[in-house]
Structure 1
Amino acid sequence: MTFEDLPLSQNILQGIAELGHNTPTPVQEKVIPEVLRRNDVLASAQTGTGKTGAFAIPLLQLLQKQVAKESSEKHPTVLIISPTRELAVQIEENIRSYARFTDVKSGVVFGGASMQPQINLLRDGLHILVATPGRLLDLRKQGYIDLDKIEVLVLDEADLMLDMGFIDEVQKIIRLSSNLVQRLMFSATIPPKVQDLAKTLLQEPERIEVDQNSSAAPEVQQKLYLVPKQDKTELLLFVMRNVVKEKSVLIFRRTKFGVEKAFDSLNKNGFKAEALHGDKSQSERSIALNKFKNKEVNILVATDVAARGLDIDLLDYVINFDIPNLPEVYVHRIGRTKQGRECRSFHLLLQCR
């Protein structure tokens, strides 16, 4: 299948082509037709499988007729909820790229930043709003967003949303969005708590599962070194000096304290590193991520929650200082690395492809 085989307008196909995309990913191939049929969807697919395009592309298609008929007043009818600021910004950037040759306007609001520019954005009018739960409810309480006018609600990274403690906010948003026509939920995994939330939100959804692999791709080279716990930091420094050197590396730790501990050790030993975790302010997280993406530093130490879903790909190395509990999380972590690199793995698992 190609995108040309889907019932999409030339404007949207042009936007997709400008991004260099010719064929839909498996999750896009399955989800796009269901969204166009106005069905509710519960989709499980890991980050990096094209989830944003799976809901953004068909929603843009459905919005085009509405945009053509609308008056000068524009208010959001599509609401996309994301658990973190970084993910929300990334989703909205992707939507804008797909909508480049259409008249559909999108915007993003999130906490940890000045509210006034976001109020101005809403006053100027838009069709698609991407938001984090807390800031959305703050703006709604002050009268800047009318959730009664939302027709399509998308929950992205639902399992992470619940892990971060947003269940009350999400349920409140669902209750306040009383005129929904369509509901879409995306999650890397579908544990019982996500299933319970799906029952609250979705109506006879199409259940779609894609790429739930617990096995690493064969081209990913992995090596494991077992060392006593107290020697792991010293081993990390050895690997950084003798294996990674100046190449890009993403280091995963399980806790915020662990991230800070590894970050301090690296900086004290002369390495250029940044840290990313939930206790950082939004501005600190943005600065750290941009420095890493712009290659001002070659090391980023992060928790899974902070790095989940972010477009940090084509890395030289990934180091699992702490091994995750779920095999799917491990496979997702190591899938961020690029081909053609030698690699080493430790317990502390370090891998590349």
Structure 2
Amino acid sequence: MSASNSQSPTFAALGVAAEICDALAARGITHTFAIQELTLPIALAGHDLIGQARTGMGKTYGFGVPVLDRVFDDAAIEELDGTPRALIIAPTRELAVQVGEDLKVAASQLPLRLATLCGGHPYEGQIKQLETGVDIIIGTPGRLLDLSQQGHLVLDHVAILVLDEADEMLDLGFLPDIQKILKALHGNKHQTMLFSATMPGPILTLSRTFMNKPLRIRAEAGEESQTHASTRKVTFLAHRMDKLSVLAHALQARGRGRTIIFTRTKRSAATVAEELAQRGFKVAAVHGDLGQAAREKSLDSFRNGTVEILVATDVAARGIDVDDVTHVINYQVPDDPMTFVHRIGRTGRAGHTGTAITLVGYDELPKWQIINDELGLEQPEPPKWFSTSPELAEALDIPEDVEETVGPATKVIGASFLSQKNSPHRNSTRERRSHSRRR
């Protein structure tokens, strides 16, 4: 979470507790982002709200700061007794962990106990935390329900409920879990806040069924603002057999720093990461087939700069909170416009500029045209480029005569040695090289 715009109000000016302001100031965070400026007065007053802002524009502290402030010092909330007063729900483990880390920064000078409860970690440690006493819970639906149904997580006194990435949380796959959690609150009066980068009409309608006269806050002008003005978009038709070669060239563009490559499927993520590693690129991968430890290792390596290339599926990528991603590459066209918005929202964040590259397969053109029409991107017929096209080199500032292989083969961070050793794609790479030598 980087410092905000110095022209906007400070957290202190909006009435946030001095302890929280001091903790944020120690990290260089003093002024609010637009979404925070608009939502803090409403949230601090205890009203229900729906907050919408692009990815990377400060949503976490938009709800996190009011949660901390109210639990710490709001007469309307019961005295702390070791059972949770606030519940923040995120769709993925990675996002829950990231939210938990951000809130711990802001709460470092408060006598509050926070716990992050999500899958991939032993129950015993989380149960012990709950037995010791917790004031604010951050977690994923499945683990929260398990702990609640086992009697370890008491939700009777929750006064604030937050759904982060609400569009994802209220998707049909998550709705039953959310309804069960709401039932576990036993109807006690509570503030509800929904935050997301996108908020489709059906989600808004559904959300109002369990909210009390919510105010909707949007920190953007309208539909035309759904994609970043600070993000340059380069979109072109790419043949399926040439996409990996395109990647190898694009990754050598001048000025390229941290880069996220998005794929639609877990198999594609694993394949792309392995193929790039075989070409000598240092790369990490996050997708659903990896264990939690491997996923965390991959994300940590990307955050700390050990690797600058991360190959990810959409769900696994939620929770990546890195402001200086220079390039996002859509290796495959996403299934819908909102996923496209989420993907390219990973670059051009918090005052930085970025480049979003979309490789449209010939069979993906109809899907791209739907995204183009919905978001008004004005490129229904992208140009046809190959990895060797001079237009590609010019658009991305790729030096002349780059090679597809940049060094000895490396190991994908996040993949086991066995999976890489037995990868059919690695064998196919060997076969192609062998065939090339025979020619």
Query: Please, what TM-score do these two structures have when normalized by structure 2?
Result: 0.72
Secondary structure (helix, strand or coil) at the match of 1:154 reads: strand
Is residue 214 of structure 2 the alignment partner of residue 205 of structure 1? yes
Cα separation, partners in 2 of 1:204 and 1:163, compared to 1, 3 Å: closer
C-alpha separation in 2, matches of 1:86 and 1:345: 24
Per-residue deviation at 1:322? 2.2
Contact 2:208 2:214 in 1 (8 A): no
CA distance in 1, matches of 2:289, 2:209: 30
Distance 1:265-1:62 versus aligned 2 partners, 3 A rule:
same
**Structure 1 residues 203 and 333, CA gap change in structure 2 (3 angstroms):** same
How far did 1:36 drift?
A: 1.6
Confirm whether residue 269 of structure 1 aligns to residue 279 of structure 2.
yes
The aligned counterpart of 1:35 is: 43
Match of 1:335 in 2: 348
TM-aligned CA deviation for residue 43 of structure 1: 1.4
Shift of 1:12: 1.9
Q: Give the structure 1 partner of residue 136 of structure 2.
A: 128
State the distance in 2 between where 1:323 and 1:110 align: 30
Over 3 Å counting, the alpha-carbon distance change for 1:344 and 1:34 in structure 2 is: closer
- The match for 2:411 is none
* Residue 88, structure 1, aligned to residue 96, structure 2: yes
Instruction: Quickly say closer, same or farther: Cα 1:256–1:162, change in 2 above 3 A.
Output: farther
**What amino acid sits opposite 2:177 in the alignment?**
E
> Which residue, 266, 270, 273 being the options, matches 1:260?
270
Gaps in structure 1 of 5+ consecutive residues: none
Q: Does 1:305 align with 2:315?
A: yes
Q: Which amino acid aligns with 2:35?
A: V
Which residue is equivalent to 1:188? Answer: 197
CA distance in 2 between counterparts of 1:161 and 1:22 reads 30
Structure-1 residue corresponding to 2:325? 315
Matched to 2:200, the amino acid is P
Q: Note the C-alpha offset of 1:335.
A: 2.3
Partner of 2:178: 170
Asked if the contact 2:314/2:343 (under 8 Å) is kept, the reply is: no
CA contact (8 A) 1:11 1:102 kept: yes
Cα separation, 1, equivalents of 2:73 and 2:351: 41
Distance, in Å, in 2 between the alignment partners of 1:31 and 1:223 is 34
1:41-73 CA-to-partner distances (Å, cap 9, x unmatched) read 1112222111111112122222223699847x4
With 34-43 and 289-298 compared, the bigger mean Cα shift is at 289-298
Instruction: Please state how far the C-alpha of 1:182 moved relative to its aligned partner.
Output: 0.9
**Measured at CA, do residues 32 and 259 of structure 1 come closer, stay the same or move farther in structure 2, by a change above 3 Å?**
same
C-alpha distance in structure 2 between counterparts of 1:282 and 1:233, whole Å: 27
Task: Give the % identical residues.
Answer: 36
3-state SS of paired residue (2:238): coil
Distance across 1 between alignment mates of 2:145 and 2:274: 37
Cα deviation, 1:127-164, whole Å, max 9, x if unaligned, reads 11111110011111111111112121111111122448
Aligned residue pairs, count: 349
- Distance in 2 between residues matched to 1:191 and 1:220, nearest whole Å: 23
Q: Say if 1:158 and 1:214 are closer, same or farther in 2 by CA, change over 3 A.
A: closer
Task: Give the SS at the match of 1:184.
Answer: strand
Distance (whole Å) between structure 1 residues aligned to residue 78 and residue 213 of structure 2: 30
Equivalent position to 1:23, from 5, 27, 31: 31
Residue 238, structure 1, aligned to residue 252, structure 2? no
Residue in 1 that maps onto 2:238:
227
Match of 2:301 among 283, 286, 291: 291
Q: Contact (CA 8 Å) 1:275, 1:302: kept in 2 or not?
A: yes
- State how far apart, in whole Å, the 2-side matches of 1:270 and 1:314 are: 23
Q: Is the Cα–Cα contact under 8 Å of residues 326 and 347 in structure 2 kept in the other structure?
A: no
Change (3 A) 1:230 1:162: farther
**Deviation, structure 1 residue 18:** 1.5
Counterpart in 1 of 2:5? none
Change (3 A) 1:36 1:345: closer
State the AA in 2 paired with 1:137.
Answer: L
In structure 1, how many angstroms separate the alpha carbons of the residues matched to 2:267 and 2:126? Answer: 33
- Name the residue aligned to 1:49: 57
Question: How far apart, in 1, do the equivalents of 2:175 and 2:358 lie?
Answer: 36
2:77 paired with 1:99: no
Moved more, 144-153 or 226-235: 226-235
Q: 1:159 to 1:346 in 2, by over 3 A?
A: closer
In structure 2, relative to structure 1, the CA distance for the partners of 1:215 and 1:138 (3 Å cut) is: closer
Taking the aligned partners of 1:69 and 1:163, their CA distance within structure 2 comes to 32
Aligned twin of 2:152: 144
In structure 2, C-alpha distance between the alignment counterparts of 1:43 and 1:344, rounded to whole Å: 25
The Cα offsets for residues 271-317 of structure 1, whole Å up to 9 and x where unpaired, read as 22121123322222111111222333221101222212420231243
Which one has the largest radius of gyration?
2
Distance in 2 (alpha carbons) for counterparts of 1:61 and 1:306: 30
Question: Residue 109 of structure 2: SS of its match in structure 1?
Answer: coil
Q: Which residue in the other structure is 2:119 paired with?
A: 111
Q: Using the alignment, how far apart are the partners of 1:280 and 1:255 within structure 2?
A: 13
Does the C-alpha gap of structure 1 residues 215 and 85 become closer, same or farther in structure 2, counting only changes over 3 Å?
closer
Whole-angstrom distance in 2 between the partners of 1:272 and 1:107: 34
Partners of 2:282 and 2:256 in 1: how far apart?
Answer: 9
